[in-house]
Amino acid sequence: MNKTVLITGASSGIGAGCANKFASQGARLILNSRSTDKLTALAQELMEKYGTECYVMPFDVCDRKAAAAALESLPEEWKTIDILINNAGLAIGVDKEHEGNIDEWEIMIDTNIKALLSMTRLVVPGMIERGCGHIINIGSIAGDAAYPGGSVYCATKAAVKALSDGLRIDLVDTPLRVTNIKPGLVETNFSVVRFRGDKDRADNVYKGIKALTGDDIAEVAYFAASAPAHMQVAEILVMPTYQATGTIVSKK
């Protein structure tokens, strides 16, 4: 794949899975997350494994000005972004809506919704000008229906669905494509963050079921990205075999 791919939240989980998959297929990568060290290590690893050219672009996606400055300062040869993978996102807390922590809600809303929007706003105009582009948003099964303790997180992922659908509508007369990938249980650092660092509780989520991995979701993202130009994979819901909905899971 001879494409330049910008991945947010690239240093772990689904983001790192996508970095590996796209690198293995010959893409060049712009890697973003907050951690310069992790991104540099990942870039080094991908260079050694696949000879991948990487541009490391550390900034906090929630910082709109930093995002704009980073994109503005991209060297000319890195400005032509073909694929934007809006992956950065998180859940914090499992409180009831009337008992939750407003600061934590704000972090989720700022990251999962506002940062995704600002990255889209910054990158898509260039794609339209060049007549080429694909926006892959990492949504969630959580956006399809709310579940206990997930109220605000589920709302943010419902917003990712609406924003993906809205963008697809707005781009209908262009060659650009928009994909919303909605994973179910994926074993990453996600649950550790959700349970505010409680590793035992996080591990328990994936006990008794073979959860998906970041690499599994990367396969789905790559499938959408490598589909023929006339084919727009609009939305994919993907979960472990022993999961049926956001709340119905069979554990053995």
Contact positions vs ligand 8X3 (CB under 6 A): 140-142, 183-185, 246
Nearer to ligand 8X3, 10 or 171 (CB): 10
- Where are the extended beta strands (E) located within the chain? 4-7, 28-31, 54-56, 83-86, 134-138, 177-183, 235-238
The residue type found at 155 is A
Q: To 5 degrees, how large is the angle CA 198–CA 199–CA 201?
A: 70
Q: What minimum distance in Å lies between the beta carbon of 170 and ligand 8X3? A: 25
Q: Which residue is nearest to ligand 8X3 (CB)?
A: 140
Nearer to ligand 8X3, 33 or 140 (CB): 140
User: CB burial class (10 A; 0-12, 13-18, 19+) of residue 208?
Assistant: exposed
Q: What minimum distance in Å lies between the beta carbon of 37 and ligand 8X3? A: 26
Bridge partner residues of 30 (DSSP): 6, 55
Buried/exposed code over 179-193 (b: 16+ C-beta within 10 A; e: otherwise): bbbbbbbbbbebbbb
Which candidate in 153, 206, 222, 242 is catalytic? 153
User: Long-range contact list for 160-163, CB < 8 A, 24+ apart?
Assistant: 160/89, 160/112, 160/113, 160/116, 161/235, 163/113, 163/116, 163/117, 163/120, 163/137
Q: What minimum distance in Å lies between the beta carbon of 140 and ligand 8X3? A: 3
Q: What minimum distance in Å lies between the beta carbon of 17 and ligand 8X3? A: 14
Q: What minimum distance in Å lies between the beta carbon of 111 and ligand 8X3? A: 13
Residue 50 bears catalytic tag: no
Q: Locate 39 and state its tokens.
A: 């991104």
Name the residues annotated as catalytic.
Answer: 153
